[in-house]
Amino acid sequence: MELAIFNTEGKETGKKIKLDEAIFGIEPNDHAIYLDVKQYLANQRQGTHKAKERNEVKGSTRKVKRQKGTGTARFGDIKNPIFRGGGRIFGPRPRDYRFKLNKKVKQLARYSALSYKAKAEGIKILEDFSYEAPKTKNYINLLNSLQVADKKSLLVLSEPNNNIYLSSRNLQRTKVVTVSELTTYDIMNAGNILFMESSINAFQNKSVGAKTV
């Protein structure tokens, strides 16, 4: 599969780049995508939820009423969970939601997501560019030129670029990442993936190196 390379004005430069079929042309594995996205979302959870249980509620430990002879159920102290203001039965406790996922599964998920985007023509290649200073208007003009301003977009850089990052930071429907930060969740969450010419080469070279190890 070959894609044309666009400039920042949204026009074709006349150059083309070939996408690796072993990455962008594989049969997608939906279950691998599910597992990788599930792990990503689980890793975002703080897990700091906490409810007070019976032994943590402040209150008297005096028995509310005598054990027998009242004609009603027996009760302990006022911290009993059935009372208003009492402890919570089996309440949530702080926990870590993270879980392990093999590298090969994560790689398969990433390739599967990119394959979906390639088949849906949701990948564009841009020639390398940079800004002299952060300016959101410049980034908006770029998205409008590429006709992707109405959808979620993900720009992939080969290395961090602070001016591009700051130019896009105030826009809700776009995100800028480097090749090493690219995740399955970001790929599936974006309507269009914008690779720079250097970043697509770096990603494919890195992937080929990983397959040969």
In tens, the pLDDT along 16-71 reads 999 999 999 999 999 999 999 999 999 999 999 999 999 999 989 899 889 999 99
Domains and CATH numbers, the chain: 2-29+102-212 (3.40.1370.10), 46-96 (no CATH)
Q: Exposed, middle or buried: residue 95 (CB in 10 Å: 0-12, 13-18, 19+)?
A: exposed
Neighbour count for residue 189 (Cβ, 10 Å):
14
pLDDT, position 24: 94
The DSSP element (H or E) to which 165 belongs, if any, is: helix 162-168
Give the pLDDT mean for 93-120: 95
**Is the per-residue pLDDT at 211 higher than 70?**
no
- In this structure, is the dihedral angle defined by the CA atoms of residues 148, 152, 158 and 164, taken in order, positive or negative? positive
pLDDT, position 75: 87
pLDDT, position 207: 74
**In 3-state terms, what secondary structure has residue 28?**
coil
- pLDDT band at residue 100 using 50, 70 and 90 as cut-offs: very high
Token pair listed for 185: 């969740």
pLDDT, position 74: 87
